[in-house]
Amino acid sequence: METPLTSGEYAGRKSLTRAIPTLSLDTRMILERETEWADEAATQTLEPRIRYVYTPYRDQSNFPVFDTNRATSGLSQLFSARVYTGHDRVADQNHFTLGLTSLCFSSQTGEEKLSVTVAQRHYVDNQRVTVPGEVGRTDRESDVLGEVALRYSRQLKGALSAQYTPKVSRWQAGSASVSYQPNPGQTASLSYRYQRETF
Find the DSSP H helices in the chain.
Answer: 75-78
Segment among 21-25, 43-47, 60-64, 96-100 with least mean pLDDT: 60-64
Mean pLDDT value across residues 2-27: 71
Rounded Cα gap, residues 27 and 55, in angstroms = 18
Rounded Cα gap, residues 147 and 74, in angstroms = 10
Mean pLDDT value across residues 119-125: 97
pLDDT score, position 145: 97
Beta bridge partners of 189: 179
Helix (H, G, I), strand (E, B) or coil at 48: strand
Mean pLDDT value across residues 88-92: 94
Given a cut of 70, whether residue 3 has pLDDT beyond it is no
pLDDT score, position 39: 87
Confidence class of residue 197 from pLDDT cuts 50, 70 and 90?
confident
Confidence class of residue 52 from pLDDT cuts 50, 70 and 90?
very high
Given a cut of 80, whether residue 141 has pLDDT beyond it is yes
DSSP line for 92-111: -EEEEEEEEEEEEEETTT--
Residue 9 one-letter amino acid: E
**What are the tens digits of pLDDT across the range 143-175?**
999 999 999 888 999 999 999 999 999 999 999
pLDDT score, position 1: 33
Given a cut of 80, whether residue 105 has pLDDT beyond it is yes
Mean pLDDT value across residues 3-32: 77
- Tell me which residue of 28, 184, 190 sits closest to 100, measured CA to CA: 28
